[in-house]
Amino acid sequence: MRKIVTIDGPSGVGKGTVAQALARRHGWAYLDSGAVYRLAALFLKRQNLSLAATATQVAALQEMAVDFVMTETVVRVFLNGVAIDDVLRREETGALASQLAVKPEIRAALLDFQRNFAGDAPLIADGRDMGTVVFPEAPLKIFLDATAEIRAERRYKQLIEKGEDVTLAALKKEIAARDARDRNRLVAPLKPASDAVLIDTTDLSVQAVLEKIDALWQAHF
């Protein structure tokens, strides 16, 4: 069975930071599935297509060529050969992605890409439905959670460091809206797999979360 660790959870909970640290430490591949939805939204927008889920949009997504390159510090993302990191990480792109992500046809169109990512190499995959839908057979599933308040504060710090012009109040609203959309959608809603280990990170540092995961890792691999 393929070695896979899934890390699911809501926006701003720190999935990416934790997943990347684990992938680097263990030399595993890393799938940022949120980036896949962000890329899909940007790709459609750039082709002047709406975020509808018609056959046109689904067919267009098959033309999307995505590359992730993990360096010592960041994951660089390329869409059809062009680096797209800056616009990809903007809050407005996350909001577009979450509108697209409610559509079952779009989710189905992106499924094979995620499942085939990195062949059969050991994989850390983060997102909303990694443990429930995309990799239900993963031997270790983790669900990270934290209050909406603390997630908005963390995201605020990240975006300000990148020089984005955001306010904490606007981010809190955006996170609440995304939470509602991600948790309440009919297909692949955000929820822990029945066999996922829940970690509440509200009062934990990244280091403390990694230590908890290390203990689980030892028991599984």
Nearer to ligand C5P, 35 or 213 (CB): 35
Q: How near is the Cβ of 192 to ligand C5P at its closest, in Å?
A: 13
Site membership for ligand C5P, residue 97 (CB under 6 A): yes
57 lies in the site for ligand C5P, by CB under 6 A: no
Complete DSSP assignment for the chain: ---EEEEE--TTSSHHHHHHHHHHHHT-EEEEHHHHHHHHHHHHHHTT--S--SHHHHHHHTT--EEEEE-SS-EEEEETTEE-HHHHTSHHHHHHHHHHTT-HHHHHHHHHHHHHTTTTS-EEEEESSIIIII-TT-SEEEEEE--HHHHHHHHHHHHHHTT----HHHHHHHHHHHHHHHHH-SSS-S---TTPEEEE-TT--HHHHHHHHHHHHHHH-
Shortest reach from residue 65's CB to ligand C5P, in Å:
19
193 lines the binding site for ligand C5P (CB under 6 A): no
Provide the minimum distance between the beta carbon of 202 and ligand C5P in the complex, in angstroms, as a whole number. Answer: 18
The binder of ligand C5P chosen from 30, 37, 135, 156 (CB under 6 A): 37
If binding is defined by CB under 6 A, does position 174 make contact with ligand C5P?
no
Give residue number: closest CB to ligand C5P. 34
Is 144 an interacting residue with respect to ligand C5P (CB under 6 A)?
no
Interface with ligand C5P (CB under 6 A): 11, 33-35, 37-38, 94, 97-98, 101, 127-130, 178, 182
